Amino acid sequence: MTRHTKPRAVVMLAFEGAQVLDVVGPLQILAGVNDELGHPAYTLTTLAEKKGPYRTSGGLQLVADGAYAELPQKIDTLMISGGNVAAPLRNPALLKALGAGAKSARRIVSICSGAFFLAAIGLIDGTRVTTHWRALDLFEKTFPKVTLDRDAPYVMG
């Protein structure tokens, strides 16, 4: 008899202008794990400014399960998508949710330019990171306390 553990809660923070692949790609990989196992290893939740549809940078609409304020207290993995980050970086509700989630999550993941959000709340000061190739100069100029690896396709730490 196979014993199943309680599914790990994964929360993706998304926003108007998020890159659609940054949101759905990681979640689809984890959904595939659930499919392969035949039971949920992960519960997947997407939060945005408000529950319901939001437009991605490619023009497609996705639907958030809830608002940032509905951030669960228990999170295994907190993810932040990348995309058009200029306006969302000024969204206090998003930054508050990210900060609160970062305190309780076992693991924090930024996808592509999502690194801007982690840097904006001081979470990655003094660490080695990377971001989308188009944003390297802006990131380096904006967040001098973060060590930017311009050549890395990803960084784990």
109-133: per-residue pLDDT in tens? Answer: 999 999 999 999 999 999 999 999 9
- DSSP designation for 153: S
Residues across the chain: 157
pLDDT recorded at residue 1:
42
pLDDT recorded at residue 154:
85
First to last CA, the chain: 36
CA distance 26 to 10: 10
Q: What is the CA radius of gyration of the chain?
A: 16
Residue 3 has pLDDT above 70, yes or no: no
**In the predicted model, what is the mean pLDDT of residues 11-29?**
98
* Encoded tokens for 123: 């979470």
pLDDT recorded at residue 2:
57
pLDDT recorded at residue 5:
87
Residue 15 has pLDDT above 90, yes or no: yes
**In the predicted model, what is the mean pLDDT of residues 99-107?**
96
Q: What is the pTM of this model?
A: 0.93
Collapse the DSSP code of 134 into the 3-class scheme (helix H, G, I; strand E, B; otherwise coil) and give the result: helix
